[in-house]
Amino acid sequence: MKKVILIITFLISSMSFADAGDAYRFNLVLISNTGETIHGYYYHNTYDSFDKSIHRGNQFKSFIKKESIEIYTYISSINLENTTIDFTTNEFKKTVNLNNIDRIFIGDYLDFSPQDRLIELTEEEFNIVELRNPTSTLIYNMEVSENCSYVLLTWQSNSQLSNHKKEIYQKYLELTTMSNAEKSVFWNYIKLKKQQLLEENILLINPCVPL
């Protein structure tokens, strides 16, 4: 587990020199013009700094500079020591037109280095996510991708992550010798492999950080 976290942390920190801006997660309460109350999490990447003393209430609109936003009414946060991933599904996604919002309340917020903190899963994938921390292992090769990796996660005690990791890693390495046209073979393999892993209650994700 610690080796996985160290590598993920290295990926995030090693890319921090790039001018990728800042990322925020806001826990919002929105009151519509008709009195409807909407709760949800909003993720925002920006080159501007958020100041809670200035951008509170309806001044939040001037900070995000958008007429509509997508919020998630439910997320499941998984802690991997000093790395956190938020899982959700399309079922919890809601598009909000801010022109129809009368009041905005920010319950709390987090700022973090731009990364794939929020990962939208299928309903089948989301159903195997538990609140406790999973067992995980990382599949990474800098020659294939500097800023992305594959991660296997499971909440089952009898899983065979190491065997799956070896298989996927070998396929992953083949990308270095494939033409762009041939790479579709790998993506088809990953699609089928993800489904196979789900039958064993194992989740395969592909988080990235900005270059």
Q: How far apart are CA 65 and CA 78, in angstroms?
A: 30
Q: How far apart are CA 170 and CA 155, in angstroms?
A: 24
> Which pair of tokens denotes residue 200?
């064993």
In the block, tokens 């789900």 appear at: 198
Residue 24 contacts residue 109 (beta carbons within 8 Å): yes
Residues 6+ apart with CB under 8 A from 118: 25, 43, 72, 75, 86, 88
Residue 2 confidence (pLDDT) above 50: no
The secondary structure of 102-153 as a DSSP string is EEEEEEEEEEE-SS--EEEEPHHHHTT--SSPPEEEEE--TTT-SSB-EEEE
Query: Mapping DSSP to helix (H, G, I), strand (E, B) and coil, where does residue 1 land?
Result: coil
Give the pLDDT band (50/70/90) at residue 20. Answer: low
Least confident range from 92-106, 157-171, 189-203: namely: 157-171
This prediction's pTM: 0.84
- Note the pLDDT tens digit of each residue in 29-85: 999 999 999 999 999 999 999 998 899 888 999 999 999 999 999 999 998 766 789
- pLDDT at residue 98, rounded to an integer: 96
pLDDT > 90: what percent of the chain? Answer: 65
Domain ranges of the chain: 19-121, 123-205
- CA dihedral 127→5→146→160, nearest 10 degrees, is -50
Residue 138 contacts residue 161 (beta carbons within 8 Å): no
